């Protein structure tokens, strides 16, 4: 009987094999990322889009074709049409207004050269799927629409500087927005159901202006405390009951709006913010205020007092809000305009009044 043949089986450390494959996977992902960046920066895509746009224009009638092919002219007054493409200081701006719009126009997909969107007062509920193609977009101004969510593709707008999605129907913000590292101004006011921000927004180190007014926040988002260059923070008209004791981490903060909340005290760290210039609070519920905050001549400390109303009127007011959503949005915008005008009037004053009562007027015709 022939002897059995011996087989030498190599035995390797499993951790060593795993490490080898992890290195290979990492290199493969890096290669894919470089290829994707190369394709995004390639002129071939833009050339293809331009030719597709020309083909689309050939299918239009003569009148419509003239409107799309003529170079846009600067406009000093309001546009005559609710859909225009304008140049303003050598910037290409897309404007869309009017409640007859329920979706973006089809021809927008060929206008990837645009640098600004200004879409207001429409019934549009979602942004187009081609949003990621607008790599040159620096301003996305889309307030007072019916937008329910921001797509993850918004994180691919690497040149974005200003995002205004106020007075829509947002319930959340995508974590991918944290990839827009050049973002300087973020406005999310008036989205009633918005109550938190993803931690990934902590990477927005260049953000200077954060507006979260008229939402459902019960505390300051953690990511906001990590935005080290933040200069203006608006958390008015939320459900805040206290402020964190480490707010002095925002060393560049100059303006803080926290009125129309449920705050009964202010943290002792507020006067320690070296750049703080303006603090606006509601004085009705406040019982504890740092002495340094009131006595510091460099800080304009403004306490707003609302006229007290009866419980019956308060209940009727809450019930009426359910049926006057659009009217409430207009009123909230007026409140913000009032605060801007009021603060502007204080810039030239050496002193400010110890308290201010805001008075509303109405007349019936």
**Longest pairwise C-alpha distance within the chain:** 116
Fold annotation for 48-69+79-305: 3.80.10
pLDDT beneath 50: ranges in the chain? 62-80, 322-331, 355, 359-365
From CA 251, how far away is CA 233, in angstroms rounded?
12
Half-sphere exposure of 8 (CA within 13 A, CB side): 1
Per residue in 223-271, pLDDT (tens digit) is 999 999 999 999 999 999 999 999 999 999 999 999 999 999 999 999 9
The predicted pLDDT at position 16 comes to: 77
Are the C-beta atoms of residues 109 and 87 closer than 8 Å to each other? no
Q: Name the strands in the sheet holding 116-120, side by side, starting at the edge strand that comes first in the sequence.
A: 83-87, 92-97, 116-120, 139-141, 162-164, 185-187, 209-211, 232-234, 255-257, 278-282, 300-305, 356-357
The predicted pLDDT at position 63 comes to: 47
* Tokens describing residue 162: 């200003």
Which among 283, 277, 231, 275 is positioned nearest to 258, based on CA atoms? 283
Per residue in 21-50, pLDDT (tens digit) is 888 888 888 888 888 777 767 777 667 666
Other beta carbons within 10 Å of 86: 16
The predicted pLDDT at position 73 comes to: 39
**Domain edges within the chain:** 48-69+79-305
The predicted pLDDT at position 350 comes to: 58
The predicted pLDDT at position 331 comes to: 44
The predicted pLDDT at position 23 comes to: 86
- State how far the alpha carbon of 333 is from the alpha carbons of 81, 144, 227, 238, in Å: 24, 10, 26, 15
φ, ψ dihedrals at 104, nearest 5°: -75, 145
Half-sphere exposure of 101 (CA within 13 A, CB side): 23
From CA 191, how far away is CA 197, in angstroms rounded?
12
């Amino acid at each position: 009987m022939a002897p059995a043949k011996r087989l030498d089986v190599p035995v390797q450390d499993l951790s060593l094999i795993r490490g080898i494959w992890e290195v290979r996977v990492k290199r493969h992902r890096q290669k894919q990322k470089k290829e994707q960046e190369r394709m995004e920066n390639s002129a071939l895509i833009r050339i293809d889009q331009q030719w597709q746009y020309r083909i689309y224009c050939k299918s239009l009638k003569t009148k419509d074709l003239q409107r799309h092919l003529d170079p846009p002219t600067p406009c000093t007054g309001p546009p005559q049409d609710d859909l225009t493409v304008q140049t303003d200081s050598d910037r290409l701006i897309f404007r869309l207004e009017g409640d007859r719009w329920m979706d973006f126009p089809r021809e927008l997909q060929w206008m990837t050269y645009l640098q600004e969107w200004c879409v207001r007062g429409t019934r549009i509920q979602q942004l187009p799927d081609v949003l990621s193609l607008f790599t040159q977009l620096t301003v996305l101004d889309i307030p007072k629409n019916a937008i329910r969510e921001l797509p993850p593709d918004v994180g691919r707008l690497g040149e974005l500087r200003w995002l205004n999605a106020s007075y829509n129907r947002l319930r959340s913000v995508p974590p991918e927005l944290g990839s827009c590292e050049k973002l300087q101004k973020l406005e999310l006011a008036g989205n009633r159901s918005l109550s938190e921000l993803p931690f990934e927004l902590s990477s927005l180190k260049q953000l200077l202006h954060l507006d979260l007014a008229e939402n459902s926040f019960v505390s300051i988002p953690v990511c906001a405390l990590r935005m080290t260059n933040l200069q203006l923070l608006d958390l008015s008209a939320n459900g805040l009951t206290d402020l964190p004791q480490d707010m002095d981490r925002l060393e560049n903060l100059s303006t803080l709006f926290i009125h129309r909340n449920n705050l009964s005290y202010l943290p002792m760290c507020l006067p320690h913010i070296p750049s703080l210039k303006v603090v606006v609070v509601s004085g009705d519920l406040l019982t504890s205020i740092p002495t340094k905050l009131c006595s510091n001549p460099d800080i304009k400390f403004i306490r707003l007092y609302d006229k007290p109303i009866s419980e019956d009127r308060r209940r009727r007011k809450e019930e009426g809000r359910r049926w006057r959503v659009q009217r409430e949005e207009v009123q909230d915008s007026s409140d913000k305009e009032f605060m801007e005008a009021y603060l502007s009037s204080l810039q030239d004053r050496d002193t400010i009044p110890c308290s201010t009562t805001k008075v509303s007027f109405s007349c019936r015709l």
